[in-house]
Amino acid sequence: MEIIDGFVNAINGIIQSSGILHLQWQNFVMIGISIVLMYLAIKKQYEPLLLLPIAFGMLLVNLCPEIMAAQQTTLMTAEECIAAKGSTSGYATTVINGITYYDVPTYGGLLYYLYQGVKLGIYPPLIFLGIGAMTDFGPLIANPKSFILGAAAQIGIFITFIGAVFLGFTDAQAGAIGIIGGADGPTAIFVTSKLAPELLGSIAIAAYSYMALVPIIQPPIMKALTTKKERSVVMEQLRPVSKLEKIMFPVIVTIIIALLLPDAAPLVGMLMLGNLFKESGVVDRICKTAQNELMNIITIFLGVTVGATATGTNFLKPDTIKIIVLGLIAFCFGTAFGVIFGKIMYKATRGKVNPLIGSAGVSAVPMAARVAQKVGQSENPSNYLLMHAMGPNVAGVIGSAVAAGVLLSVIPH
Amino acid sequence: MDDFMAKVTTSATMLLTGFTVVFSVLLLLILIIYVYGTIMYKLQNRDKTKKDKKQPQTEEKPVTKMPAVQAAPVASNDEIPGEIVAVIAAAVDSMYGDASGKVRIKNIKKSGGRSPWANAGVLDNTRPF
């Protein structure tokens, strides 16, 4: 009889602690959304490297919210402590009003600890280290005017900031929403984790979704703002860039940006360190690690933990819809301003610059540059804009990091 | 009304600051990169011309006469080797053969400009969507 009682109690305890009885309807909706995102990542291959871990993190946290629970300390009297833990030894004590309490810790969930890398702004700069180790800044060095297009595409960030402020978001939240227009996932996560961590899930999902949709969002804007003649411009071949120039570039950029905008230093500094690894050619092992193992490990941690911030109660709010709409506006404005400045350069150079390359200024490396190539080639099949578009594209990465530095230095957090 | 004005002030300040700082920093970078790029380019050209000037002097006093090497026969546009034509035909067939039925290749000639490897790289970078 005692065995059966014990068995019933054990089963009862398992049922009571299971998610089935504790989950709310929002959690089930989020589980559905996570499955849709997994489908998009696997079947449609929309940014699968990040969308898949994000979707799975979302699934995990909505099935088992404790996995993201923070570490806590409970004050217990000696009797309570003995009843709960069996003894009082090993616990620190606190005396309140003459009564001794034992500080009994409850450890946090796995993803809570991994999330500290996001919360403390560690993962995004490490991702930038890997990106730097993979990026060739040659097209930008060969044609430094590309920086103008990289800067122009950041205007969308600040215009969206205005929209978000008027929709009732706080300045910090508006800054975090605006950065979606930079079309740079690590930068968006870095800024949001500092300005508005409560919006991290929605902003990360919006940012990565729009980056995956670059080939769908950008071409209509590019075509609407340019004429057939402008789209058909064949650009001159870029000059060769020497190794010394490539080595000096990361050092110079770091000195300028870290001096002028210290808030952008973690992102730009790591990006340029990775690039120096690559271009110096003397630390091949480190460079390969930054490009592959480190990048992949951080991508897993970043994706899963960012996804884990999207709990039902956090995500299913009218604000999320506003963020998704504002994110799209930011992206469209970024593309549009890039193309408009491309047109200005077209006029200024008397038709030597194809304005389509301006659209690549929104970062999203290398997809935005590929889109410029694709749209240009649809007008003139023998036109190869890819390398020309890579200049504004990598300038956009630096530009969005600078814009992030501006937001972080201007908005109190 | 005060709230509205506060929002307008915040927005205008942010837009102006953002626009000014981002453009100033990136324009400064353009200037610096342009200057050092030009210096590098000139230095390299100077080194190159120095080397070019030195080159004939060293060639004037050969130690021993090397036996003349016969130049490999270069295929003209009309004389692409049969094996190469067969490989190109097989590649074209594997790409387009299934989709459009039989493929007839009427002409194969060398194109100028980009090397086949560069073309392959561009194709690889632009194919996925």
Whether A169 and chain B come into contact, CB under 8 Å, resolves to no
Last residue of a domain, one of A106, A125, A152: A106
Which residue does chain A place closest to B17, by CA atoms? A406
A172-176, A394-398, B36-40, B63-67: least confident range: B63-67
pLDDT of residue A126: 96
Contact across the interface for B40 and A245, Cβ inside 8 Å: yes
Range of the domain at B37: 2-47
Whether A390 and chain B come into contact, CB under 8 Å, resolves to no
Same domain, B80 and B43: no
Whether A215 and chain B come into contact, CB under 8 Å, resolves to yes
Closest CA to A257 of B20, B35, B28: B28
Which residue does chain A place closest to B34, by CA atoms? A144
Contact across the interface for B28 and A171, Cβ inside 8 Å: no
Which residue does chain B place closest to A168, by CA atoms? B7
Of A145, A260, A386, the CB nearest to B125: A386
Whether residue B39 lies inside any domain: the answer is yes
Distance from CA of B89 to the nearest CA of A (A): 22
Which residue does chain B place closest to A170, by CA atoms? B7
Same domain, A310 and A287: yes
Please, how many CA atoms are within 13 Å of residue A255, restricted to the half-sphere of its CB?
9
Contact across the interface for B22 and A406, Cβ inside 8 Å: yes
Distance (Å, whole) CA A397 – CA B26: 12
Same domain, A45 and A173: no
User: Which pLDDT band, with edges at 50, 70 and 90, does B101 fall under?
Assistant: low
Domain total in chain B: 2
Which residue does chain A place closest to B19, by CA atoms? A155
Residue A74, φ and ψ in degrees, nearest 5: -105, 135
Check whether B61 has a pLDDT greater than 50: no
> 3-state class of A92 per DSSP?
strand
Same domain, A83 and A56: no
Same domain, A39 and A134: no
Which residue does chain A place closest to B128, by CA atoms? A370
Check whether B48 has a pLDDT greater than 80: no
Contact across the interface for B14 and A161, Cβ inside 8 Å: yes
Check whether B69 has a pLDDT greater than 60: no
pLDDT of residue B79: 66
Domain total in chain A: 3
Whether residue B125 lies inside any domain: the answer is no
Same domain, A354 and A368: yes
Same domain, A91 and A191: no
Whether residue B124 lies inside any domain: the answer is no
Kindly report, residue by residue over B6-23, the tens digit of the pLDDT.
Answer: 899 999 999 999 999 999
Contact across the interface for B26 and A150, Cβ inside 8 Å: yes
Whether residue B91 lies inside any domain: the answer is yes
Contacts of A395 in chain B (CB under 8 A): 26
pLDDT of residue B127: 58
Q: Give residues with Cβ within 8 angstroms of A251, minimum separation 6.
A: A272, A276
Distance (Å, whole) CA A150 – CA A369: 12
Query: Are the C-beta atoms of residues A38 and A304 closer than 8 Å to each other?
Result: no
Query: Are the C-beta atoms of residues B18 and A403 closer than 8 Å to each other?
Result: yes
> 3-state class of A94 per DSSP?
strand
Range of the domain at A83: 72-106
Same domain, A60 and A97: no
Residue A351, φ and ψ in degrees, nearest 5: 85, 15
Contact across the interface for B34 and A257, Cβ inside 8 Å: no
- Longest CA–CA span in chain B (Å) reads 94
Check whether B75 has a pLDDT greater than 60: no
Contact across the interface for A410 and B17, Cβ inside 8 Å: yes
Same domain, A254 and A383: yes
Whether A185 and chain B come into contact, CB under 8 Å, resolves to no
Kindly report, residue by residue over A5-56, the tens digit of the pLDDT.
Answer: 888 988 888 887 777 777 889 999 999 999 999 999 999 888 788 889 999 9
Last residue of a domain, one of A49, A68, A87: A68
Same domain, A143 and A43: no
Contact across the interface for B26 and A256, Cβ inside 8 Å: no
Distance (Å, whole) CA A370 – CA A357: 10
Distance (Å, whole) CA A4 – CA A334: 67
Number of other CB atoms surrounding residue A156 within 10 Å:
27
Same domain, A44 and A147: no
Whether residue B63 lies inside any domain: the answer is no
Kindly report, residue by residue over A109-144, the tens digit of the pLDDT.
Answer: 999 999 999 989 999 999 999 999 999 999 999 999
Residues of chain A with pLDDT under 70: none
pLDDT of residue A190: 94
Same domain, A79 and A128: no
Distance (Å, whole) CA A229 – CA A8: 79
Number of other CB atoms surrounding residue B3 within 10 Å:
7
Contact across the interface for B26 and A147, Cβ inside 8 Å: yes
Same domain, A220 and A336: yes
